[in-house]
Structure 1
Amino acid sequence: MNNKYLYILLCSSIGFSQVGIGTTNPQEELHLTGTTSTIRIEGLSTANNPLNDGVKNARVYVTGNGNLTLTPPSYVAGGSGNGNLPINFLIDVPNFIPDNIDGLPAPYDSLGRIINSDLTQETVEGFIYSVTFTVPAACTVEVKHGVTLVVSGINMLIPPRLAYINDSKTRTIQTYFCFDINNDGLSVAEKAIQYGNKGQFYCSVAGGSLGYPYMNSQGYATLPPGTHSIHFFGIVQDSPNTFTSVGFGGATDYLKLRVYN
């Protein structure tokens, strides 16, 4: 009886000294066969590692202990030179603001989010759009975005929608964004912290003008791990007794979120 147990133990030791996947005759401690065989390490995935942006392939390094990592050797946080982390974008969204948020009929379906300052107002603020994202660890993020604009002298939400501005008065257009931590609803305190404030003026001449100006900006924030969202806002300012209608995001926009940790 004892000899039988010894025989089983020896066979088990020999059988498990080498592991084969797709083969019954492994030649190494771990042997994968197949021309399309792959290996997945979830700790290096986009969901679990901010250095993997999910867009381009990330370079994997091997430490002195044989560990696999996305962090380059000799990296020092805040340092410079060859030890710097590569540029990694957590999100890279082209045209992130839908061209027709307000659901207008063609051919007016490329006006973005419309914010109006009517004859009784001089400053109007409105919500443009929000984007949700997840960071697996505490980090600093850099947000870069560009927004196209459509400017009209009449309300673009109702016909005839578009009209040249030719009153020779100046309009100011601004954007900024806020972070909704944990994506549980933007609170008053969260909205009070504004990032990436950017503005430009729009001044017409007697002949008038109509088209797509372009405005971009960036900002930095430190975020805890978890799912968050970025909320973008627009502000329209004009002179008394003037009407200004601005469409935010009617053409090609972009949003990039870069991670530092």
Structure 2
Amino acid sequence: MKNQYLYLLFSSAIGFSQVGIGTSNPQEELHVAGNNSTIRIESLSNANNPLNDGIKNARVYVDANGNFTLTPPNYTAGGSGYGNLPINFLIDVPNFIPDNVDGLPAPYDSLGRIINSDLTQETVEGFIFSATFTVPQSCTVEVKHGVTIVISGSNMLTPSLAYINDSKTRTIQTFFCFDINNDGLSPAEKALQYGHKGQFYCSVAGGSLGYPYMNSQGYATLPPGTHSIHFFGIVQDPPNSFTSVGFGGATDYLKLRVYN
């Protein structure tokens, strides 16, 4: 009797090319009926797939064989560098500003990009660093970044480091701009400044050296294509004061996320 049931089931599967779940009248090869019906593929769960963090919904792709997967095309394993990342991240770059952009000798090789405001200046703006990325379609992009700062009363490019102990206040700011199509930052693109963040530094009699930390974020709507993001720093100090600021000498981060 058992063999007869198996035979009937097998022949039924051969005779019908459509399978229905919740319906006796399937309209496709696989038809899942019901207004609240769901499908679960356990190989894509966060317990079985490292690209599913279990918090945000993960985007499912279809590979050349028709298989469902969470791995996007050209995905770079490890989650670092400028490769494609899972879910909705464009880039996720730890320590994106090189610690020794200006190529200084040790022990001055962890100062980042140095911007000086000398005795004749009160406000100085300078370029820090840029990164290139690709946007697959028109979308809103969220930028989050954190930058470390080291402050000195002497020119760190000489190189040297000196405590500031004049009890005067300095301000340090960062912002970023987008170079659309990565063909050179135009004056119009430079005028669109995002993510302005600043903090002040006021020395005491003993002075201070170290790595203050500040972070910021901003949003922009971008067209599809390959673009670049450019970071700038601003140093402001009182008249007849010398201030040297290194942007990115310790551990920094940069994250770009897309909202479709």
Any stretches of 5+ residues in structure 1 without a counterpart? 1-54, 71-85
Give the alignment's Cα RMSD to 1 decimal: 2.0
Q: What is the rounded CA distance, in whole Å, between the counterparts of 1:59 and 1:220 in structure 2?
A: 22
Q: What is the rounded CA distance, in whole Å, between the counterparts of 1:61 and 1:180 in structure 2?
A: 30
Shift of 1:200: 0.2
Match of 2:109 in 1: 109
Runs of 4+ in 1 over 4 A off after TM superposition: 66-70
Shift of 1:89: 1.4
TM-superposition CA deviations, 1:121-155 (whole Å, max 9, x none): 00000000000000111110000000000000000
TM-score normalized by the length of structure 1: 0.69
Q: What is the rounded CA distance, in whole Å, between the counterparts of 1:165 and 1:232 in structure 2?
A: 26
1:56 aligns with 2:51: yes
Q: Where does 1:133-144 land on structure 2 (aligned, <5 Å)?
A: 133-144=133-144
Q: Which amino acid aligns with 2:113?
A: R
Aligned residues with identical type, % of pairs: 90
Match of 1:23 in 2: none
Match of 2:205 in 1: 206
SS in 2 for 1:143: strand
Shift of 1:88: 2.4
SS in 2 for 1:189: helix
Q: Which amino acid aligns with 2:138?
A: A
Q: Which amino acid aligns with 1:98?
A: P
Shift of 1:56: 3.5
Aligned length: 188
TM-score normalized by the length of structure 2: 0.69
Q: Contact (CA 8 Å) 2:59, 2:87: kept in 1 or not?
A: no
Q: Contact (CA 8 Å) 1:165, 1:209: kept in 2 or not?
A: yes
Structure 1 pair 172/87, CA: closer, same or farther in 2 (3 Å)?
Answer: farther
Any stretches of 5+ residues in structure 2 without a counterpart? 1-49, 53-57, 71-85
Match of 1:235 in 2: 234
Q: What is the rounded CA distance, in whole Å, between the counterparts of 2:61 and 2:87 in structure 1?
A: 16
Q: Contact (CA 8 Å) 1:87, 1:258: kept in 2 or not?
A: no
Q: Which amino acid aligns with 1:187?
A: S
Q: Which amino acid aligns with 1:154?
A: S
Structure 1 pair 195/90, CA: closer, same or farther in 2 (3 Å)?
Answer: same
Q: What is the rounded CA distance, in whole Å, between the counterparts of 1:247 and 1:126 in structure 2?
A: 11
TM-superposition CA deviations, 1:193-218 (whole Å, max 9, x none): 00000000000001100110001000
